[in-house]
Chains A and B, each alone.
Chain A
Amino acid sequence: MTILNDPVNAKLGDRAQLSYIASQAADARLNVELETEGMTLNIGPQHPATHGTLRIIARLDGEQVLWAEPSCGYMHRGYEKLTEVRSFPQVTSLINRIDWLGSFANEVPFILAAENLMGVEAPPRAQWIRTILFELSRIANVSLFLGDLGVQLGAITPVFIAFRDREYVLNLIESATGGRFHPNFDRIGGLKDDLPAGWVDETKVVMKKLRNFCDEIEALLFGNEIFQSRTRGIGVIPRDVAMQYGLSGANLRASGVDWDLRRDQDSPMAWNKVDFKVWTHPDGDSFARCWVRLQETREATKIVDQLLDGIPAGPVMAKVPKIIKVPEGEAWVSTENPLGEMGYYVVSRGDSGPFRVKIRSASFNNISITPWLLRGVYVPDIITILASLYFILGDIDR
């Protein structure tokens, strides 16, 4: 590490990190001299900071974590098995409960996989509306993260501001799809329905509000010196480690890896029709992860704005038989969901329902790095790191 070799000329942020490392080292020395008894702290499964039922077993020395391990499965709902006894149209109503904050985004990869197997492609209008709703659910998801981040770090106000402004997005999703959280709007071959009149103009107004929300959160939280001192240099994931642990989404981009499936992958969605920036951050610390998400929310509002201007006219449903039978075959489709890469491996045996579905959800891989990341940090940093890694319990346990 360069700052250890040259501490005098280090930048301010690096110095904070350096002093943190030094204090940890000093603590370690002290602990060798004074034999102290450790303590095992169970954070969860019922705990205010785990947004669900994640359990972190932490072995503490004072307030310092010797090792920590996540223990998940308290909310396992068995989606992979449930899908096997459902028909293809029924599956979407289940799987949008996996990541319950960005639920429309869960349906898309599954539907794309089924379409892949059937050899149909949604008409362009359906693709554009899908992309818009996908980005809206990303905004709804990540804006709540930005508010929740405040709560995890002890600020109460951001979460209410986030709930307030997420409400506008949820209203949009509801007026288009009928479901606030669980749209179930995607169908094999297109969408259930077209957009209601006036929706486009309304969305543009809301996107302006959301950009304003991003500015407010930036002023309230990201600019705050306490927030910066709590997150900068905490939970640093180097580039190689992030790739080794299979992180995806903003967690990976915050470690400086320029990887975004929306841009890098050719999928029947409208992302390649608009230009957007993929934000990365070189630091890889908690602040970087939060900052990348903030910028992504901004970018998503811009993507929605661009898409709204160019929705092509036409049908929203391709020609598909009324009773859907998916031909034999296997397909893997993944998309860049709010939490990271989410993919479905669908195996069909020619029935009306899938034979086997493997769900790759982003959060499960994202929290797998926690034992590596939590070693040596303080108890408050556990919360910071977990908050900045950003997982949804349903996405971990499925």
Chain B
Amino acid sequence: MAQIPGMVKGLGVTFKTMMRTFKNGSNTVQYPHEKEAPPIRARGVIALHEDNCTSCMLCSRSCPDWCIYIEAHKELAPPRREGGKPRAVNKLDRFDIDYALCMYCGICVEVCPFDALFWSPEYEYSEPSIADLLHDKSKLGEWMETVPAAPELEAGAEKKKK
């Protein structure tokens, strides 16, 4: 029989893998000690840029499992021009995202017309209690620091109109 028996070949595969792990290290990462950087686009956690939010409720309405809670009230802001009329703006009272419900689909970030919501690749926010997964607007605002710049696009892509 000229052919090597399949079992011996299989043993060769496992042995080769073992030697490779010895030489080059494993494919796994010792998690708490070293971390893998997630890709830029990774959907880790939603960050809120509060100043941009106009409480238009688009995100809340388009969420497939309705996990965004928004409350706001009208407020008079100083006029833009000298002597103008005071503007009525929506002041955000409450902007909560319940990460216990969130499916990380990204529709809210996409529909936001005023660039108030961003994806951050941060992923370490597990909590011992499920109620703590409800992030309020200050906590969502803290995530803003971790939001990366949008990546360059592949050749041939159409530039986005701004």
Contacts and interface: CB of A to CB of B under 8 A. Distances in A.
In the complex, A touching B (Cβ < 8 A): yes
Contacts of A220: 9-10, 13-14
A178 B42 contact: yes
B17 A196 contact: no
A386 B90 CA distance: 58
Interface stretch (B75-83, B105-113, B130-138): B105-113
B158 A315 contact: yes
A178 B107 contact: no
Contacts of B63: 90
A195 B12 CA distance: 39
A216 B13 contact: yes
B150 to A, nearest CB: 9
B147 interface: no
Interface in A85-111: 86-87, 89-90, 92-94
A161 interface: yes
Given A94-B64, A175-B40, A200 B104 contact: no
Contacts of A87: 62
Interface string A162-198: 0010010001001111111010100000001111111
A223 to B, nearest CB: 3
B41 A178 contact: yes
Contacts of B89: none
B128 interface: no
B10 A221 contact: yes
Contact of A196 (B64, B110, B152): B152
Contacts of A196: 39-41, 151-154
If over half of B's interface residues share one DSSP class (helix, strand or loop), that class is named, otherwise mixed; here it is: loop
Given A167-B27, A196-B40, A219 B62 contact: no
Interface string A130-174: 000000000000000000000000000100010010010001001
Interface in A359-385: none
A12 interface: no
A42 interface: no
A90 B103 CA distance: 11
A33 interface: no
B86 interface: no
A294 B89 CA distance: 60
Interface string B39-73: 11111000000000000000000111000000000
Interface stretch (A21-29, A224-232, A278-286): A224-232
Nearest to B28: A164
Interface stretch (A48-56, A69-77, A258-266, A306-314): A306-314
A316 interface: yes
A314 B159 CA distance: 9
B153 A182 contact: no
Contacts of A200: 154-155
Interface string B1-12: 000011101101
B115 to A, nearest CB: 15
A93 B67 CA distance: 14
B41 A177 contact: yes
Nearest to B13: A220
B99 interface: no
Given A194-B158, A195-B157, A216-B13, A225 B27 contact: no
Contacts of A315: 158
A85 B31 CA distance: 40
A86 B9 CA distance: 53
Contact of B43 (A86, A167, A178, A314): A178
A89 B62 CA distance: 8
A192 B9 contact: no
A54 B123 CA distance: 32
Contact of B119 (A178, A184, A223): A178
B158 A93 contact: no
A194 B10 contact: no
Contact of B39 (A90, A171, A192): A171
A178 B7 contact: no
A264 B9 CA distance: 38
Contacts of B104: 179, 182
Contacts of B27: 164, 167
A199 interface: yes
Contacts of A197: 151-155
Contact of B107 (A93, A161, A171, A312): A93
Contacts of B5: 225
Contacts of B156: 125, 311-314
Contacts of A176: 41
B124 to A, nearest CB: 16
Contacts of B153: 194-197
16 contacts: A86-B64, A92-B105, A93-B103, A167-B27, A175-B40, A179-B104, A184-B105, A194-B157, A196-B154, A219-B13, A220-B13, A222-B6, A223-B10, A227-B6, A313-B157, A314-B158
Interface of A: 86-87, 89-90, 92-94, 125, 157, 161, 164, 167, 171, 174-180, 182, 184, 192-200, 216, 219-228, 311-316
- Which 3 A-B residue pairings sit nearest by Cβ, starting from the closest? A223-B6, A93-B105, A313-B156
